[in-house]
């Protein structure tokens, strides 16, 4: 019998995360304080993060222990299975071998609890009572709500208003796990009120919701902020995916030639690829590809420079490929991955040519998702489907060139709470929209000039 799932026993859950900062040829430039434009110190961050996470943010130690309490909760769904996509290979008629790691098995349905669990743990240990955070479509909010309930923390979620109104199911999931969910922009924070005064119909954005959550955390002593992507410690926690995959590839007697992940902020891509990039940095022949939408083309068309993490300019400036922090994604875009920039770690590695990037329009992405669902069964998240489009293109290229390559991608989450986007695709409502150059230029012209 052909092997379809490569599974590991619970005791094989990695006991340490891998920190790529120990091995990168160039470290990212330091975050800058939004007021002084000087590098931020630990004290600047301690108003909104616990010290354990601040230490991880700047650590260059290669291996970092995963606390037992975190391992205990990871074991609810980890190790996640590695699948060989025999049926997709057959449907494409490709000589390529296709593997995927399935992160949809977590209680929240995506990879995000890999970091929300440790973040909740470290905050609880530091005596924090409440977490304020933002969410777009609701995956991060769900992961944080779940983690809050498991560690006895209150969770307040600022959810982008369009999603709050159009996507009730994740909001209901968050409320089921005990979180309080607000439609952002709200009148609860100064940054929300300012935006509503100027534009009462503002549909919200991830950047605005981040401003609200950061303000909430900074103005309450018992409250911290938590971010679901972008920061170094988030990508660190996600390496549990790639570390498991390495063991699974060893069991399968195989090793990837190409690793593909969708890229919004970069956490699932970093998580799946960093343990393998360790080998690439040490001479292994291997490609890593980030896949993004043409409507939010951060790596492929953004500029590598300092920008804020949020719309209001409350967060430190990070060195990123950015479209400008006041970037507002087009309303017709259904595929997620709408953040205006990417993780500094991903950006530095892309800048140093250790990672490549491609961008696709959403109709091609949904078409790929349907090819996948019809052969492998799982209906993938629209975000994940960007990676699947790139996988299919790579597999077809192998067929055209008559080459057998091993392609590996991260199936970052399932799409069962995103079926409205599929309905829009089925009824022909989705259009491809390449973000206009002039808009990118305008937005970048408003950035502070540094150095
Ligand atoms: C949040 C999310 C993403 C995008 O975030 P990254 O930080 O780029 O990983 C991708 N896929 C799923 C399923 C998500 O929930």
Rounded Cα gap, residues 175 and 173, in angstroms:
5
Rounded Cα gap, residues 196 and 190, in angstroms:
10
Distance of CA 245 from the midpoint of ligand 1 (Å): 18
Q: Are 407 and 287 in contact (CB under 8 A)?
A: no
| Phi, psi dihedral angles at 160 (to 5 degrees) | -50, 125
Sequence-distant (≥ 6) Cβ neighbours of residue 173 within 8 angstroms: 108, 138, 142, 145, 417
What pLDDT digit, counting tens, does each position of 346-379 carry? 999 999 999 999 999 999 999 999 999 999 999 9
Q: Which of 101, 262, 273, 292 to mutate to test the pocket of ligand 1 (most atoms within 8 A of CB)?
A: 262
C-alpha closest to that of 267 among 242, 286, 246, 303: 242
Pick the atom of ligand 1 nearest to 271's CA. 9
Q: Which two tokens stand for residue 337?
A: 């991955």
| Phi, psi dihedral angles at 408 (to 5 degrees) | -130, 130
Distance of CA 176 from the midpoint of ligand 1 (Å): 22
Quick check: 446 pLDDT over 80?
yes
What pLDDT digit, counting tens, does each position of 309-327 carry? 988 888 899 999 999 998 8
Rounded Cα gap, residues 134 and 152, in angstroms:
19
Q: Are 268 and 239 in contact (CB under 8 A)?
A: no
Pick the atom of ligand 1 nearest to 264's CA. 8
Q: Are 27 and 348 in contact (CB under 8 A)?
A: yes
* Angstrom distances, CA of residue 65 to CA of 230, 237, 253, 322: 21, 10, 27, 32
Residue matched to tokens 């489907």 = 385
Residue environment code for 238-266, b if the CB has 16+ CB neighbours within 10 A, otherwise e: bbbbbbbbbbbbeeeebebbbbbbbbbbb
Q: Which two tokens stand for residue 297?
A: 């083309």
Rounded Cα gap, residues 353 and 355, in angstroms:
5
* Angstrom distances, CA of residue 397 to CA of 96, 237, 273, 366: 9, 33, 22, 20
What pLDDT digit, counting tens, does each position of 404-427 carry? 999 999 999 999 999 999 999 999
Distance of CA 140 from the midpoint of ligand 1 (Å): 8
Kindly report which listed range (60-74, 83-97, 153-167) carries the lowest average pLDDT score: 153-167
Quick check: 290 pLDDT over 90?
yes
- The CA angle 11-16-18, to the nearest 5 degrees, is 130
Compute the mean pLDDT over every residue in the chain, rounded to the nearest whole number.
Answer: 95
- The whole-number pLDDT of residue 52 equals 98
Distance of CA 387 from the midpoint of ligand 1 (Å): 11
Q: Which two tokens stand for residue 110?
A: 């995506």
| Ligand 1, pocket residues at CB < 6 Å | 110, 112, 139, 229, 262-269, 337, 381, 383-384, 412-413
Pick the atom of ligand 1 nearest to 269's CA. 9
Rounded Cα gap, residues 327 and 342, in angstroms:
13
Omega before 427 cis (within 30°)?
A: no
Q: Are 202 and 233 in contact (CB under 8 A)?
A: no
- The whole-number pLDDT of residue 332 equals 64
C-alpha closest to that of 346 among 356, 336, 360: 356
Rounded Cα gap, residues 235 and 19, in angstroms:
9
Quick check: 305 pLDDT over 70?
yes
Quick check: 42 pLDDT over 90?
no
Rounded Cα gap, residues 209 and 158, in angstroms:
6
Q: Which two tokens stand for residue 136?
A: 């777009």
Atom 13 of ligand 1: nearest residue by CA position? 413
Distance of CA 6 from the midpoint of ligand 1 (Å): 23
Question: Taking the complete model, does pTM exceed 0.95, yes or no?
Answer: yes
| Phi, psi dihedral angles at 442 (to 5 degrees) | -60, -45
Distance of CA 10 from the midpoint of ligand 1 (Å): 25
| Phi, psi dihedral angles at 30 (to 5 degrees) | -70, 150
* Angstrom distances, CA of residue 120 to CA of 130, 131, 216, 225: 10, 8, 17, 10
What pLDDT digit, counting tens, does each position of 214-251 carry? 999 999 999 999 999 999 999 999 999 999 999 999 99
Across 240-345, the runs of DSSP E, i.e. the strands, are: 258-262, 287-293, 303-308, 317-322
Look up the CATH architecture of domain 68-109+233-445.
Answer: 3-Layer(aba) Sandwich (3.40)
Q: Give residue 381's pLDDT band: very low, low, confident or very high (50, 70, 90).
A: very high
Pick the atom of ligand 1 nearest to 103's CA. 13
Task: Determine the 3-state secondary structure of 438 from DSSP.
Answer: helix
């Amino acid at each position: 019998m052909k092997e379809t799932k490569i599974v590991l026993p619970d005791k094989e859950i990695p006991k340490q995360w891998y920190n790529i900062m120990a091995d990168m040829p160039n470290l990212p430039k330091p975050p800058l304080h939004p007021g002084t434009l000087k590098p931020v110190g630990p004290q600047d961050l301690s108003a909104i993060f616990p010290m354990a996470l601040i230490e991880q943010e700047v650590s260059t130690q290669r291996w970092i222990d995963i606390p037992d309490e975190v391992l205990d909760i990871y074991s609810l769904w980890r190790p996640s299975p590695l699948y060989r996509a025999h049926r997709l290979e057959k449907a494409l008629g490709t000589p390529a071998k296709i593997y995927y790691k399935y992160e949809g098995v977590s209680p929240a349905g995506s990879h995000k609890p890999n970091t929300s669990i440790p973040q909740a743990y470290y905050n609880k240990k530091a005596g924090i009572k409440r977490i304020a955070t933002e969410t777009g479509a609701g995956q991060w909010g769900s992961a944080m709500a779940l983690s809050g309930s498991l560690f006895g923390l209150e969770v307040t979620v600022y959810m982008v208003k369009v999603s709050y109104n159009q996507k009730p199911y994740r909001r209901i999931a968050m409320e089921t796990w005990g979180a309080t969910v607000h439609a952002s922009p709200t009148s609860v924070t100064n940054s929300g009120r300012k935006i509503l005064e100027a534009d009462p119909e503002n549909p919200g954005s991830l950047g605005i919701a981040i401003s609200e959550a950061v303000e909430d955390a900074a103005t309450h002593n018992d409250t911290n902020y938590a971010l679901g992507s972008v920061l170094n410690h988030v990508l660190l926690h996600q390496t549990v995916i790639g570390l498991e995959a390495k063991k699974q590839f060893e069991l399968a007697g195989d090793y990837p030639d190409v690793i593909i992940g969708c890229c919004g902020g970069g956490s699932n891509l970093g998580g799946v690829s960093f343990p393998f990039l360790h080998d690439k940095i040490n001479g292994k022949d291997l490609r890593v590809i980030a896949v993004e939408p043409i409507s939010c083309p951060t790596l492929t068309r953004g500029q590598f420079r300092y920008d804020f993490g949020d719309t209001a300019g409350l967060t430190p400036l990070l060195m990123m490929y950015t479209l400008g922090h006041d970037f507002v994604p087009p309303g017709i875009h259904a595929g997620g991955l709408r953040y205006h920039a990417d993780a500094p770690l991903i950006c530095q590695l892309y800048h140093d040519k250790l990672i490549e990037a491609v961008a696709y329009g959403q109709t091609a992405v949904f078409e790929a998702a349907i090819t996948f669902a019809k052969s492998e069964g799982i209906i993938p998240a629209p975000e994940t489907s960007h990676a699947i489009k790139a996988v299919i293109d790579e597999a077809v290229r192998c067929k055209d060139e008559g080459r057998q390559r091993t392609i590996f991608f991260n199936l970052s989450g399932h799409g069962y709470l995103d079926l409205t986007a599929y309905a829009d695709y089925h009824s022909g409502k989705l259009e491809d929209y390449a973000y206009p150059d002039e808009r990118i230029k305008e937005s970048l012209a408003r950035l502070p000039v540094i150095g």
